[in-house]
Amino acid sequence: MKKRIIAIPMSKEAQHRLDYDECLNGDLKEYNLTENEFSELLDIGFFQDINNSLGVIISDYESEEIVGDKLHLLESFMENYIKNHKDILGRVPNLNKPKRALF
């Protein structure tokens, strides 16, 4: 089973430490996606849609960081996407409004 994590740095300093793999306790809010959750997101086209909307490459074999201006695009994307897929995306806490970055 692959490990899939959504990580949200809680501060600019935490984001910097994450870049160097030096995170402290409390630096990140993490959500471990289960295989079922990942499959559901894949099946509804979530990753393809987010890749197209934000110009990123998130897939089964790629990780991505979403920072800067792309965070605003992500927030708008998620507001619309959650309306149509509350049953799936509503279970993933903090995904719709990351403060600084999303990894």
Total count of domains within the chain: 1
Whether 77 and 50 have beta carbons less than 8 Å apart is answered as: yes
pLDDT band at 90 (very low <50, low <70, confident <90, very high): low
In the numeric block, the tokens 């870049």 are attached to 19
Name the nearest CA neighbour of 46 among 31, 33, 28, 32.
33
Q: Tell me: the pLDDT tens digits for 36-72? A: 888 888 898 988 998 999 899 988 787 788 877 887 7
Provide the whole-model pTM.
Answer: 0.70
pLDDT band at 73 (very low <50, low <70, confident <90, very high): confident
- Report the C-alpha gap between 6 and 61 in whole angstroms: 14
26-43 burial by CB neighbour count: b if 16+ within 10 A, else e?
ebbbebebeeebeebbee
Which range of residues forms the domain containing residue 29?
4-102
pLDDT band at 25 (very low <50, low <70, confident <90, very high): very high
Neighbours of 56 (CB within 10 A): 19
